[in-house]
Chain A
Amino acid sequence: MSKINAALIGSGNIGTDLLYKALRSDWINPVWMVGIDADSEGLARARKLGLKTTHEGVDGMVPHMQEDKVQICFDATSAYVHGENNRKVQEQGSIMIDLTPAAVGPFCVPPVNLKDHVGKRELNVNMVTCGGQATIPMVAAVSRVQPVSYGEIVATVSSKSAGPGTRKNIDEFTQTTAGAVEKVGGAKQGKAIIILNPAEPPLMMRDTVHCITEDEPDQAAITESIQEMIREVQKYVPGYRLKNGPVFDGNRVTVFMEVEGLGDYLPKYAGNLDIMTAAGLRTAEMFAEEIINGTLVLQPEVA
Chain B
Amino acid sequence: MNLNGKKITIHDMSLRDGMHAKRHQISLEQMISVASGLDAAGVPMIEVTHGDGLAGASVNYGFPAHTDEEYLRAVRPHVKNAKISALLLPGIGTVPELEMAADCGVDTIRVATHCTEADVSEQHITKSRELGLDTVGFLMMAHMVGPEKLIEQARLMEGYGANCIYVTDSAGYMLPDDVTQRLKAVREALQPETELGFHGHHNLSLGVINSLAAVEAGANRIDGSAAGMGAGAGNTPLEVFVAVTERMGVETGVDLFKLMDVAEDLIVPMLDQPIRVDRDALTLGYAGVYSSFLLFAKRAQQRYGVSSRDVLVELGRRGMIGGQEDMIEDVAMEMAKAQGVQQ
Contact = CB atoms under 8 A, between A and B. Distances in A.
Contacts of B199: none
Interface stretch (A64-72, A108-116, A163-171, A214-222): A163-171
B114 A193 contact: no
Interface stretch (B207-215, B272-280, B326-334): B326-334
A174 B116 CA distance: 20
A244 B321 contact: no
Nearest to A171: B94
Interface string A181-218: 00000000001011111111001001010101000000
A53 interface: no
Interface in B309-343: 318-321, 323-324, 326-327, 329-330, 333-334
Given A152-B60, A197-B319, A212-B59, A256 B330 contact: yes
Interface string A130-163: 0000000000000000000010101010010000
Given A193-B60, A199-B318, A210-B59, A156 B324 contact: yes
A243 B337 CA distance: 12
B114 A191 contact: no
B122 A168 contact: yes
B329 to A, nearest CB: 7
Nearest to B322: A195
Given A156-B324, A198-B114, A244-B334, A170 B123 contact: yes
A16 to B, nearest CB: 20
A154 B326 CA distance: 8
A170 B319 contact: no
Contact of B120 (A150, A196, A256): A196
Contacts of A152: 58-60
B95 to A, nearest CB: 6
A101 to B, nearest CB: 12
A196 B91 contact: yes
A150 B59 CA distance: 10
A96 B321 CA distance: 37
A243 to B, nearest CB: 7
Contacts of A245: 333
A208 B116 contact: no
Contacts of B177: none
Contacts of A21: none
A-side interface mostly: strand
B100 interface: no
A197 B319 CA distance: 8
Interface in B113-138: 114, 116-117, 119-120, 122-124
A272 to B, nearest CB: 14
Interface string A228-248: 000000000000000111010
A164 to B, nearest CB: 7
B189 interface: no
A252 interface: yes
A164 B116 CA distance: 14
B92 interface: yes
A170 B114 CA distance: 14
A254 interface: yes
B172 interface: no
Contact of A196 (B114, B122, B320, B330): B114
Given A152-B58, A159-B117, A164-B119, A193 B323 contact: yes
Contact of A208 (B60, B122, B123, B318): B60
Contacts of A208: 60, 326-327, 330
Interface residues of B, number: 28
Most chain B beta carbons < 10 A, residue from A168, A193, A194, A203: A193
A124 interface: no
B234 interface: no
Contacts of A154: 60, 326
Given A152-B59, A152-B60, A243 B330 contact: yes
A197 B91 contact: no
B239 to A, nearest CB: 34
Given A193-B60, A208-B326, A203 B92 contact: no
Nearest to A155: B91
Interface in B50-96: 58-60, 90-92, 94-95
A90 interface: no
Q: Which of A171, A210, A256 has the most CB of B within 10 A?
A: A171
A175 B123 CA distance: 14
Nearest to A191: B58
Nearest to A199: B319
Given A195-B323, A199-B318, 5 more contacts: A150-B59, A156-B326, A174-B94, A193-B91, A256-B333
Interface of A: 150, 152, 154, 156, 159, 164, 167-168, 170-171, 173-175, 191, 193-200, 203, 206, 208, 210, 212, 243-245, 247, 252, 254, 256
22 contacts: A152-B58, A167-B119, A170-B123, A171-B90, A173-B91, A174-B91, A175-B94, A195-B91, A196-B114, A197-B320, A198-B117, A198-B321, A199-B319, A199-B321, A203-B318, A203-B319, A212-B59, A243-B330, A244-B329, A247-B329, A254-B329, A256-B326
Top 4 A-B residue pairs of the complex, sorted by shortest distance between their CB atoms: A199-B319, A208-B326, A210-B59, A171-B94
